[in-house]
Amino acid sequence: MPVIEGDWWPIAGDPDLGEYTRDAQQPVDFAIWQAADGTWQLWSCIRQTGCGGNTRLFHRWEGRSLTDRDWEPRGIAMEADPRFGETPGGLQAPHVILADGIYHMLYGDWESICLARSRDGKDFEREVAPGGVASRFSEGRGANTRDPMALRVGDLFHIYYTAFPGDRGAVYCRTSPDLRTYGESHVVAFGGLAGTSPYSAECPHVVYRPESDAYYLFRTQRYGEDAQTTVYCSPDPMDFGVEDDRYRLGTLPIAAPEIVVHEGEWYVAALSPDLKGIRMARLEWNRR
């Protein structure tokens, strides 16, 4: 079972968005990665801003070391662009993975999953699909397909994400050989004690732990002071339990976790309980 070890330290706060700044704004779903120059990057979806539409945009921070406190704010990183079919103010949950020397950023635009790419891990450009749109795939209009993350398993990337067609939230997965073309969707986690509401399978994050030869899914149900993320452990990256809890380990009192492994050490970043920042702690593994 993953266990939070020691105290949390803050890495990002409530940013100054200039004319878009609002008292109610909140940094929520985010991504952390190391850029080509060795600095650490953090992009977060800021919601309830004054940008219009669905009120969301991406802001970024930069840290010299993963364990530094209070990374430096670097301003607004991206806004939704309707020219590419994106929903105004609809940017959600970025995720970055380095593959073949290119940084690939998967993100949501409220209705679908989109792709941007970068060579330095800082400046990203949309990878526009045929038809001139940013969208790569979706679970259908109104299902709020969002919160993507990618994990390489063998020769394929597994892209995990959530959506709620019919107001029933589930964790989905599609595979891809190149992060440009994607296979059919599969439900890999649904129901059980975590529930079936539209928000019962948010922010899916999957890691592989060699010592266990198993895959761990972190699946969030609640944000804020009463935050909850359910943890599952499975030998199969395409099955964490559908309407059963056979792979369920337990829960952690955190929301939207991002797991980082650096120099053999495990870390977890998560939202602050007041939803006004992002924090980090060390992660340990206890045998159960």
In terms of Cβ atoms closer than 10 Å to its own Cβ (0-12, 13-18, 19+), residue 192 is: buried
Structure token digits, residue 65: 């070391």
Structure token digits, residue 121: 């891990």
Which among 254, 196, 199 is positioned nearest to 221, based on CA atoms?
199
Greatest extent of the chain over all pairs of C-alpha atoms, in Å: 51
How much is the pLDDT for 232? 98
Structure token digits, residue 97: 């993975």
C-alpha–C-alpha distance, residues 221 and 270, integer Å: 13
**What is the sign of the dihedral through the CA atoms of 87, 89, 92 and 96?**
positive
C-alpha–C-alpha distance, residues 24 and 18, integer Å: 14
In terms of Cβ atoms closer than 10 Å to its own Cβ (0-12, 13-18, 19+), residue 284 is: middle
Helix (H) or strand (E) holding 32: strand 26-34
How much is the pLDDT for 244? 95
Domain ranges of the chain: 2-285
At the topology level of CATH, where does 2-285 sit? Tachylectin-2; Chain A (2.115.10)
Over its length of 288 residues, how does the chain's per-residue pLDDT go in tens digits? 999 999 999 999 999 999 999 999 999 999 999 999 999 999 999 999 999 999 999 999 999 999 999 999 999 999 999 999 999 999 999 999 999 999 999 999 999 999 999 999 999 999 998 889 999 999 999 999 999 999 999 999 999 999 999 999 999 999 999 999 999 999 999 999 999 999 999 999 999 999 999 999 999 999 999 999 999 999 999 999 999 999 999 999 999 999 999 999 999 999 999 999 999 999 999 876
User: Helix, strand, coil shares of the chain as percentages rounded to 5?
Assistant: 5, 50, 45
